[in-house]
Amino acid sequence: MGGGSGDGHHMGTGERYFDVIVVGVGSMGSAACAHLAARGARVLGLEQFEIPHRHGSHHGHSRMIRQAYYEHPDYVPLLRRAYQLWDELQLRDGGREFFYRTGGIYLGPEEGAIVSGSLGSAREHGLEHQLHDAGEVQRRFPQFRPGGGHLGFFENEAGFLVPELAIMAHAAWAREGGASLLEGEALVSWGAAGSGVEVKTAAGVSYQADHLVFAGGAWSSQLVAGLGVELAVTRQVLAWFEPLGDRGRFAPGRFPCWFVETEPPYGHYGFPVLPGDPGLKVALHRPGEPIAPGQLRTAGLAPREAEIDRLHAVLDEFLPGCAGELSQACTCLYTNSPDGHFVVGHHPEFEQVSVACGFSGHGFKFASVMGEALADLALDGGTELPIGFLGPGRFVG
């Protein structure tokens, strides 16, 4: 595929022609725009809302990042690169800190998905970790009361990202590199045009490019017909509760990110509390009720009392005496692939189109490395990053 910057026939023809168009400037799209622009490509990013916004998958102040990946050990090399790129982005950005290494404790039965999966990844990739019994967990972190028979897998390198700030940092880096990022500009149709693509926006404007990157999150099914992958969009509830007693005991350094296997193989998780945070955050990592992506914006899909009560009950069970009144709650979207793994690669029919979707509720931590992979796919026609196991082709036929 042609790709690359500065193809002769596109030179000097004005702002309707780009090397690469990126649809969706959210978690993955903002990173793709940044990496593409840094490599000299002329980039157009189309975002239907603002950058960032609260109608998709990237709001809520915190996203966990960890390396001993219980979901599958093949993610670990990508995570190592993601860490490097987040560190570089934070240095380059010079704005507010958005990457916190706080350590992470994962609680569950020894043979459960989370503890045994984390151990498997850590051993296969030589990652530093500690395995604690329940008593050791409580001595190290007196805030926790592990369940009967639970072990605690502790990973020093775990922490969290502030997604809104991370997206702003990628968008700023993209703009510094000359990318045009348009907000409030939805793509409404696209098609192949010769070896490139042509897209049309809701404003009625057409743009052409050598390559198109789809990073549309929950809207991906609508955007990428012919992908051959069923993506299920679900509604997820998150809540913050007023910390009881000394707020300092939940600060980064004294309190880690945590994950408990409450609904095997899924579980509840939470974060340390930063100054200015609404409180102790808790949510369930498990696909929720199916909904259409636009519903989050239009219909009153506010969290229900029973859902909030359940989240409070989880805190009462595993962090007894820590959670007071509800201080905030909202909903957010997961885009689930059939096997819970990401869908990243070339479009099965169109070599000039790449996709990154189906992040199944665990994609944010990878956004930095996905940006690099998407730039490789668009400009070089392939990537040396080990993303082969995520290709959309695995669902075809």
Ligand X SMILES: Cc1cc2nc3c(=O)[nH]c(=O)nc-3n(C[C@H](O)[C@H](O)[C@H](O)COP(=O)(O)OP(=O)(O)OC[C@H]3O[C@@H](n4cnc5c(N)ncnc54)[C@H](O)[C@@H]3O)c2cc1C
The contact set with ligand X (CB under 6 A) reads 23-24, 26-29, 46-49, 56-58, 60, 63-64, 186-187, 215-217, 219, 223, 236, 238, 283, 332-334, 357, 359, 361-365
Nearer to ligand X, 195 or 327 (CB): 327
Tokens of 157: 């390198």
Q: In angstroms, what is the minimal distance from the CB of 168 to ligand X? A: 13
Tokens of 155: 């990973």
Nearer to ligand X, 42 or 63 (CB): 63
Nearer to ligand X, 101 or 138 (CB): 101
Q: In angstroms, what is the minimal distance from the CB of 26 to ligand X? A: 2
Q: With residue 18 as reference, give the H or E element that holds it.
A: strand 17-23
Q: Is the dihedral of CA 16, 210, 19, 22 positive or negative?
A: positive
User: Reduced to 3 DSSP states, what percent helix, strand and coil does the chain have, rounded to the nearest 5?
Assistant: 30, 30, 40
- 314 vs 273, 305, 309, CA distance in Å? 17, 14, 9
Three-point CA angle 386, 391, 392, nearest 5°: 170
Q: In angstroms, what is the minimal distance from the CB of 360 to ligand X? A: 7
Q: In angstroms, what is the minimal distance from the CB of 232 to ligand X? A: 13
Helices 163-176, 76-93: inter-axial angle, 10-degree rounding: 70
Nearer to ligand X, 151 or 224 (CB): 224
Distance CA 139, CA 153 (A): 14
Nearer to ligand X, 134 or 186 (CB): 186
Q: With residue 154 as reference, give the H or E element that holds it.
A: strand 150-155
Nearer to ligand X, 57 or 383 (CB): 57
Q: Which residue is nearest to ligand X (CB)?
A: 26
Nearer to ligand X, 234 or 352 (CB): 234
Beta strand 289-290 with 280-285 is unpaired
Q: In angstroms, what is the minimal distance from the CB of 199 to ligand X? A: 9
Q: In angstroms, what is the minimal distance from the CB of 297 to ligand X? A: 10
Q: Which residues pair with 27 in a beta bridge?
A: none
* 95-134: burial string, b at 16+ Cβ within 10 Å, e else: eeebbbebbbbbbbbeebbbbbbbbebbeebebebeebeb
Q: In angstroms, what is the minimal distance from the CB of 48 to ligand X? A: 4
- 226 vs 229, 393, 395, CA distance in Å? 8, 11, 12
Q: Exposed, middle or buried: residue 153 (CB in 10 Å: 0-12, 13-18, 19+)? A: buried
Q: In angstroms, what is the minimal distance from the CB of 64 to ligand X? A: 3
Q: Which of 13, 175, 204 is nearest to 92 (CA)?
A: 175
Q: In angstroms, what is the minimal distance from the CB of 257 to ligand X? A: 8
Nearer to ligand X, 38 or 161 (CB): 161
Q: In angstroms, what is the minimal distance from the CB of 51 to ligand X? A: 7
Distance CA 376, CA 381 (A): 7
- 289 vs 171, 233, 235, 339, CA distance in Å? 31, 8, 5, 17
Q: In angstroms, what is the minimal distance from the CB of 357 to ligand X? A: 6
Nearer to ligand X, 18 or 219 (CB): 219
Distance CA 4, CA 379 (A): 5
Distance CA 385, CA 82 (A): 11
Nearer to ligand X, 67 or 383 (CB): 67
Nearer to ligand X, 186 or 291 (CB): 186
Q: With residue 34 as reference, give the H or E element that holds it.
A: helix 27-38
Say whether 354 sits in a helix, a strand or coil.
Answer: strand
